[in-house]
Structure 1
Amino acid sequence: MTISLPPAPHWQKLLKSGCRVFVGGHASVPHALMQNLIDNSQGFSDIELVHGLALGATPWAREEYRRLFKVNTFFIGGAEVRRAVDEGRADYTPCFLSEISSLFTEGALALDAVLINVSPPDEFGYCSLGASVDICMSAVRHTKLIIAQINAEVPRTTGHSYVHISEISACIEADEPLVAVEPPPVDTQAERIGQYVSMLVDDGATLQFGIGKIPSATLKYLCHHKDLGIHSEMLTDSIIELIESGAVTNRKKTFHPGKVVTSFAIGSQRLYDFINNNPHVEFYASSYVNKPTNIAKNDNMVAINSALEVDLTGQVVADSIGHDFYSGIGGQVDFVTGASISKGGKPIIALPSTAKNETISRIVPSISEGAGVVTSRGNVHYVVTEYGVASLKGKSIRERALELIRVAHPKFRARLLEEVRTHYWVPHYQEKYPTDIPELGGIQLQKLQMQNETYYLRPLNPADERRLQEFFYSHTKETLRLRYNYDPKQMSREKSCDLVSVDQSTDAALCIVRQDGSRITIHAVGRFYYYPEDNSCEAAFVTRETHQGKGMAKRLLVQLIDIACQRKIDKMVAYVRAGNKPMISIFEQHNFKRVFSDDPSDVELVLKLEEAAL
């Protein structure tokens, strides 16, 4: 079967001044076709060019073409487009990626023509949009005129990525590689964020992610997970490693099982080769992939997105730095919404805690003047920085502020607490800001498997005030008597606040928690108090009755001994009620020795830490 190509474009017959033209974007901008238009633009003026992120050179956005073209972009990227927006020569139109197609169909941005980059037609005449189906397909389906660059370098991708040659009115043949974007080097900061995010991902989850250091680091730490799936507006090189590791099988997906679902790809030539004729990777329009109700059809949907800043109520700024528009809304809200309503879903905002060489905190008391909220405080479930995971769903403003201060850079925590105190977001008795335990290292969260259940060991912090109060009221009278030597009747918020507001560089307070979605429950607490007069510390533990016998106290004790040894404390002391034989046994198993006590109802145990460190 012979396939005839459409004629070369006679631009003066196809377009006219003042028309609106869509240009395919991302890594698959039809650069040669655009240059052909520029070279043959005599007599044209005020053509509106609509596109999303356009990678590579964008000469049409230069000052010299301001009378010929007016750029209207959904996502600001590249120096020339950004400069044009900053100088007022180009427009930025904010819109959820899932809803951009409606701008074409409903006439808000009615299109006169579409310029796309496609593969050569197959034996049946079908060309593929390749690595950029996204909003291109919607534009193609809602335009009067399709003009194409037939490019042998465009990969043929499966899914709904095809345009028949008979639909194309004019074309040029020009082979040029897609714009390659090499994976960024992953630094220590991104590594830590990636580790924390990976701890929120369960086996069998379906993932969405973007591009950059943090997604690359996160995917690296997911290589030992099982039966992961992918439903993501975007693919990057990291997906290859994850698939090759065997972590991605798409077997547990509940929407398009067995397939990676996406709408565009940005990466190296290796990625473009990977998606070429790959039946396991399917491309669909953004209106389909990003539709929140479609996203939610995936159980355990985990959406990983980034931000420029997050305020202490959980508002997310992602497209602007103050009054300066920086990028775009993209698909963040689509996937945050979809993951929120997914069964077992987790929307995550991951970002570095600082910017500009640690001179600016990205966790802020209030968003910068002129900045816009992309994702509202009601949508955010988790915020992750290199200092930990803040869990926000169902939290009050006070609890959110304390959670977010905890994951801010340590040098900004005191100032952030001072700021929110002026607004009465935290009570007057909340005087201490969260501190880390240096001896735990860069990752202050340890994932534990106990009797086939997952728990987390981490420092106790001011955001745990209500959780510790709940923990206290869960105890029986017997547990309280054994722990406190009497039967306390009340744990006030003030008292709970005092117990969780610990200077972790002097004393140490750890907890073991269970996290079910956004609900965090404390099941065990262990701490020591430091006494500088004789360089000793006193240890104490309490475990929820329903979780005794699982080894939680032992795990906490081992960790506290290690911290005390690293701090070169001479000895650790414990005072245990004589009737609390299980706790006495735990201490003695770790080489604590009984010493004489004046009170026969108490047992005093001592561990010489110099011997424990050997």
Structure 2
Amino acid sequence: MVDYRSKLITVDQALDLVRDGDNITVGLGANEPPAFLSSLHRIADRVSDVTITDCLPTVMGEYLSEENIRSSFSIDCWFSTPPLRKLAGTGRVSFIPNHLHLAGTKRNAHKRSRMLISLASMPEADGRTRFAAGNTYEEMIGRDADLRIVEISPNAPHCYGQNYLDWDSIDYVIESDGWPGTIPVVAPNDRDLVIGRYIADLVDDGDCIQVGIGGIPNAVCGYLMEKKDLGIHTEMMTTGIMDLMKAGVVTGARKQVDVGKAVFAFALGSAEMYEFIDRNPDCWTGRGEEVNNPWLIARNDNQVSINTSIEIDLTGQCCSESIGTQQISGTGGQSDTATGAQRSRNGRSIIALYSTVEKTDRVTGEKQVISKIVPTLRPGAAVSLSRNDVDWVVTEYGAVSLRGTTIAERVERLISIAHPDFREQLHAEAVRCGYVSVAPSVARAAVVGR
């Protein structure tokens, strides 16, 4: 067993290393160092202009209070979450537009991190420790960082794959009993189940799957229990994927690359899922710049990407991360996985969304139902997936393929899966925009294009 005690420091000693103006990058999601971040607020009175660069934060430490953010810390994030959105008015939280497979590469080119700090598994006998729940950008950022610190915990999962660090590359070690951050499993509602059924019908036995989290993805995973020999090549290992693996639905036997392995860049989910991936030879963590590289995704035939969106316009532009100018999440790997799947032999990319959403007026408090299929995106909306890259679109009113279609054909197909109450209005707007000049057929679509 490696003797790491020569590099061992306390949390307080790690905090003493933080200087004014530092850029500290922490691990993604479940790789956030809980002991370090839970104590970071204790130095708020002695430091200034310290930037924390993160993605999908799960440790809600006091450093994220508005007072501490305004006085000492700022946040640069690859993916916004509710606690970060609450701090938007401070001017001290800013989003980094990115495709996830290039997050580390582009960040290093722009702003080098002085510190990388990540949760890691307990040391191995051969001189390695492993990032606890993935290696999306951690290793890449660490290559250029002045200091590389790991917070090791017996409660961190020990995943196999390209997520290891040689002890020679680690500067300091913090011991803790911290747990990786979890997220709740969202139970599918009635609309999720209808959409999930449409999506599952587009998946064949032996396909290789990428799927995320939320009500719709969880509904999809439930219906995929009917399939056989699915493979996994996904940005994110989820509790839903774990359930499919436990049920024997996922075997990876028909994959062309990494046969038999469920490949992911990071894991984020339930405590049960972290226990499942711990020392599981069927689970394999890859570097984010490889797992999410569209050209490498395409090496497996029949790759199917399943993502969700906030709104889509009648030409196919998908906004999946903002409400107008308000950043609420991030591009993440949506473009990576969608374009990678379409490069795959017989691959498919699926974007799912509800046909409507209930909106509350900020001034009057009145509630209004609006269509999520729109003539044009809201002013300032981020285009997460170009209309050039959209493939299948699914709502609770059906599934349509936009691959190779004209604008006029897209108008017809997208209106066919809009809520019936908005179809006439959408057609009128399509005429006004010059997309079409005659009424499209707006009968319920079910599945169009396969």
Q: TM-score range by the shorter chain?
A: over 0.9
Contact 1:11 / 1:40 at 8 angstroms: preserved in 2? no
Contact 2:185 / 2:269 at 8 angstroms: preserved in 1? yes
* Pair 1:203-2:205 in alignment: yes
State the partner residue of 2:155. Answer: 153
Q: 1:221 is paired with a residue of what secondary structure? A: helix
Counterpart-to-counterpart distance in 2, 1:72 and 1:418: 42
Contact 2:355 / 2:396 at 8 angstroms: preserved in 1? yes
Tell me whether 187-196 or 354-363 shows the greater mean CA deviation: 354-363
Which residue identity does 2:46 align to in structure 1?
A: G
Contact 2:183 / 2:269 at 8 angstroms: preserved in 1? yes
Counterpart-to-counterpart distance in 2, 1:86 and 1:388: 39
Task: Work out which of the residue numbers 61, 74, 81 in structure 2 matches 1:77.
Answer: 81
State the partner residue of 2:324. Answer: 322
Which residue identity does 2:306 align to in structure 1?
A: I
Contact 1:61 / 1:90 at 8 angstroms: preserved in 2? no
Task: Work out which of the residue numbers 245, 262, 267 in structure 2 matches 1:260.
Answer: 262
Contact 2:101 / 2:333 at 8 angstroms: preserved in 1? yes
* Pair 1:16-2:19 in alignment: yes
Spell out, residue by residue over 1:550-588, the C-alpha distance to the aligned partner (whole angstroms, 9 max, x if none).
Answer: xxxxxxxxxxxxxxxxxxxxxxxxxxxxxxxxxxxxxxx
Task: Work out which of the residue numbers 64, 67, 72 in structure 1 matches 2:71.
Answer: 67
State the partner residue of 2:413. Answer: 403
Which residue identity does 2:152 align to in structure 1?
A: I
* Pair 1:337-2:366 in alignment: no
State the partner residue of 1:27. Answer: 30
Shift, 1:105, TM fit: 4.1
Tell me whether 285-294 or 117-126 shows the greater mean CA deviation: 117-126
Q: Percent of counterpart pairs with the same letter?
A: 35
Shift, 1:2, TM fit: 5.2
Which structure would you say has the larger RCO, counting Cα contacts within 8 Å and 6 or more residues apart? 2
Spell out, residue by residue over 1:498-533, the C-alpha distance to the aligned partner (whole angstroms, 9 max, x if none).
Answer: xxxxxxxxxxxxxxx883xxxxxxxxxxxxxxxxxx
State the partner residue of 1:361. Answer: 371
Contact 1:234 / 1:264 at 8 angstroms: preserved in 2? yes
Shift, 1:325, TM fit: 0.9
Which residue identity does 1:347 align to in structure 2?
A: S
Counterpart-to-counterpart distance in 2, 1:169 and 1:38: 23
Q: 1:234 to 1:332 in 2, by over 3 A?
A: same
Shift, 1:4, TM fit: 2.7
From the CA coordinates, give the structure whose radius of gyration is larger.
Answer: 1
Q: 2:376 is paired with a residue of what secondary structure? A: coil
State the partner residue of 2:8. Answer: 7
1:147-546 equivalences under 5 Å are 147-356=149-358, 359-428=369-438, 430=439, 434-436=442-444, 445=446, 515=450
Shift, 1:294, TM fit: 0.5
Q: 1:91 is paired with a residue of what secondary structure? A: strand
* Pair 1:101-2:104 in alignment: yes
Shift, 1:339, TM fit: 1.0
Shift, 1:40, TM fit: 4.1
Counterpart-to-counterpart distance in 1, 2:108 and 2:389: 28
Q: 1:242 to 1:11 in 2, by over 3 A?
A: closer
Spell out, residue by residue over 1:375-396, the C-alpha distance to the aligned partner (whole angstroms, 9 max, x if none).
Answer: 1111001110111012101111
Aligned-pair RMSD on alpha carbons? 1.9
Contact 1:348 / 1:381 at 8 angstroms: preserved in 2? yes
Q: 1:380 to 1:12 in 2, by over 3 A?
A: closer
Q: 1:307 to 1:58 in 2, by over 3 A?
A: farther
Contact 2:235 / 2:292 at 8 angstroms: preserved in 1? yes
Which residue identity does 2:77 align to in structure 1?
A: T
Spell out, residue by residue over 1:428-483, the C-alpha distance to the aligned partner (whole angstroms, 9 max, x if none).
Answer: 3x2x65234xxxxxxx74xxxxxxxxxxxx7xxxxxxxxxxxxxxxxxxxxxxxxx
Spell out, residue by residue over 1:258-315, the C-alpha distance to the aligned partner (whole angstroms, 9 max, x if none).
Answer: 1110011111111011000001100112111101111011111111111110000000
Q: 1:242 is paired with a residue of what secondary structure? A: helix
For these two proteins, the number of residue pairs brought into alignment is 438
Counterpart-to-counterpart distance in 2, 1:2 and 1:135: 25
Contact 1:56 / 1:78 at 8 angstroms: preserved in 2? no
Q: 1:394 is paired with a residue of what secondary structure? A: coil
Counterpart-to-counterpart distance in 2, 1:303 and 1:36: 39
Which residue identity does 1:387 align to in structure 2?
A: Y
Q: 1:367 to 1:58 in 2, by over 3 A?
A: farther
Shift, 1:143, TM fit: 1.5
Instruction: Give the TM-score, by structure 2 length.
Output: 0.93
Q: 2:341 is paired with a residue of what secondary structure? A: helix
In structure 1, the gaps of 5 or more residues are: 437-443, 446-457, 459-512, 516-614
Which residue identity does 1:218 align to in structure 2?
A: V
State the partner residue of 2:363. Answer: none
Q: 2:388 is paired with a residue of what secondary structure? A: coil
Contact 1:48 / 1:72 at 8 angstroms: preserved in 2? yes
Q: 2:263 is paired with a residue of what secondary structure? A: strand
Contact 1:86 / 1:324 at 8 angstroms: preserved in 2? no
Q: 1:267 is paired with a residue of what secondary structure? A: coil
Spell out, residue by residue over 1:84-122, the C-alpha distance to the aligned partner (whole angstroms, 9 max, x if none).
Answer: 23432211111110111212443x121111111111212
* Pair 1:130-2:140 in alignment: no
Counterpart-to-counterpart distance in 1, 2:2 and 2:22: 34
Tell me whether 356-365 or 7-16 shows the greater mean CA deviation: 7-16
Q: 1:114 is paired with a residue of what secondary structure? A: strand
Which residue identity does 1:4 align to in structure 2?
A: Y
Tell me whether 205-214 or 418-427 shows the greater mean CA deviation: 418-427
Counterpart-to-counterpart distance in 2, 1:63 and 1:350: 35
Counterpart-to-counterpart distance in 1, 2:2 and 2:240: 40
Q: 1:260 to 1:2 in 2, by over 3 A?
A: closer
Contact 1:134 / 1:264 at 8 angstroms: preserved in 2? yes
In structure 2, the gaps of 5 or more residues are: 360-367
State the partner residue of 1:606. Answer: none
Instruction: Give the TM-score, by structure 1 length.
Output: 0.69
Q: 1:86 to 1:361 in 2, by over 3 A?
A: farther
Counterpart-to-counterpart distance in 2, 1:325 and 1:237: 26
Which residue identity does 2:39 align to in structure 1?
A: N
Q: 1:402 is paired with a residue of what secondary structure? A: helix
Q: 1:132 is paired with a residue of what secondary structure? A: coil
State the partner residue of 1:52. Answer: 55
Shift, 1:181, TM fit: 1.8
